[in-house]
Amino acid sequence: MVYLSRLIVSPRCRQARSEIANPFEMHRTIARVFEEFIESEDDGRFLYRIDREPRPHALIQTKSEPDWSRLCIPADYLAAPPEVKVITPMFRSGERFVFRLRANPTLRLNGKRYGLYTHAEQVEWLARKSGLGGFQVEKLAVRQEECLEARGTGGRVAKFATVQYDGELSIADPLLFKDSFENGVGSSKGMGYGLLSLARA
């Protein structure tokens, strides 16, 4: 069982505008809701993605039931009350889904991660992840977005390649796919990558 929440943010709120532009800050705001789960060693991890259409909003997928009343934000941060629905993932071999994935395609060499920036590399990355994740991509559209930047310790700026994958997939291994769905695909999940959104084809 997982919980999928949608937070529609108000473009009139200064903090909301800032966090839409900086997913790492959005992650820090959301994480405060789950501090008690982390401290008690329950599962406080979450996946999230910021979408800008039709209205700016954050999708958050959690294994723990969220209490959005704990969200410490300005009164004008949200444009509507949080929406939450419960999903019980049950997958069968051969099922087809329409999917969306915003990801940070990388390759690890000699202990370091390197971004993949060409279309061919990004398609190959998803093919590799799908093979490991129990699914096969049947149709695919790839949209490259602006690189995200985050300032780390010592003022060092890290850049993250951002790619949105849309298409159709079929399930090859239901157990592996369930893990991909619940735990995300790829790296840099704290920057808003990895959430696999599904709708039946």
Distance CA 32, CA 35 (A): 5
Summarize pLDDT for 151-165 with one digit per residue, the tens. Answer: 655 666 677 889 999
Asked whether the predicted pLDDT for residue 175 surpasses 80, the reply is: yes
- The share of the chain scoring above pLDDT 90, in percent, equals 57
pLDDT for 22 beyond 90: no
Please answer whether residues 198 and 91 qualify as being in contact, where contact means their C-beta atoms are separated by less than 8 angstroms: no
Q: Is the model's pLDDT at 34 over the cut of 50?
A: yes
Taking the model in full, what pTM does it have? 0.88
User: For residues 38 and 105, which has the higher predicted lDDT (pLDDT)?
Assistant: 105
Question: Residues near 148 by Cβ (< 8 Å), separated by ≥ 6?
Answer: 23, 24, 159, 160, 162, 191, 192
Q: How many CB atoms lie within 10 A of CB 7?
A: 27
Number of H helices, E strands in the chain: 5, 10
Domains contained in the chain, CATH given: 2-87 (3.30.70.1200), 96-200 (3.30.70.1210)
pLDDT greater than 90 at residue 11: no
pLDDT of 40 > 50? The answer is no
Q: Give the model confidence (pLDDT) of 72-89 as tens digits.
A: 889 999 999 999 999 998
- The strand pairing partners of 199, in sequence order, are 98
Question: Residue 151's pLDDT is what?
Answer: 62
Q: What is the C-alpha separation between 63 and 83, in angstroms, rounded?
A: 16
